[in-house]
Amino acid sequence: MARIPAAERRAELVAAAVRMIAAHGVEGATTRRIAQEANAPLATLHYCFASKEVLFAAVFEHVAGLYREVLTRNDVHGDVPTTAGALLRGLLEWYVANPEFGAATVELISWGQRQEGRQAEMVYNEAFATMRAILETAAGRPVDAAIIEELTYMMSVLSDGFALNWLVFTNRTAAEPQIELTVGVLDAWMATNLGDVSRPARGASTVSPAETSRSLASWVSVQ
């Protein structure tokens, strides 16, 4: 059997760790389970990663890298409103397409916040930095830095809320209109703070601020 290069084996173990965290939580993702999922001897895992903490640090880096990849893949190089809408839509569609990864991310963020390494903050800070850089270089009229910061925060809050809802219900039939609703909330905010909102042709949202408010009230009803 051909020997697997160390870098490839490390990547396989990190990917296996993500799957085990999604399935069993951080505490349940033991090194033995991770090694079995990667079809690797336990000794190989310990050779590649000196400890479980080192492995999880690599998992956090992997998570941050994937978020960066998703964001840059959806950078449409339009004006700020168009770009922001595309970034948010891309994140929401990615969550729907990758529920396993979303579940692992929620577990990791919750666990990481209790650790000393501030790894959860690292994931968010990298995502914020990527979104900020894309929005700052978007074509069109200049936008105040404070507005860019608020817009970045809005996108993060909306994507996090959608991700949690999707992980709980995993209803693909409901997901599409909920994506439109969530992007519509961002549209309403941008219409107030940025003026006219240009939307990309793909999956364009036509929800008005008033319609968005009514839809939100219906969505969160507990009756």
The domain limits of the chain are: 1-50, 60-219
What gap in Å lies between CA 175 and CA 158, rounded to an integer? 14
What are the backbone dihedrals phi and psi of residue 222, each rounded to the nearest 5 degrees, phi first? -105, 5
Tell me the mean pLDDT per 10 residues along the chain, length 223.
76 95 92 95 94 90 89 81 92 92 88 79 88 82 83 95 92 93 95 64 43 40 34
Cα→Cα distances 184→84, 88, 120, 172, 192, Å: 12, 11, 28, 19, 12
CATH number for the segment(s) 1-50:
1.10.10.60
Q: How far apart are CA 47 and CA 44, in angstroms?
A: 5
CA atoms of 70 and 48, how far apart (whole Å)? 27
Taking only the tens place, the pLDDT of each residue in 110-132 is 888 887 767 788 888 889 999 99
**pTM metric for this prediction:** 0.78
Q: CA 65 to CA 68: how far, in whole Å? A: 5
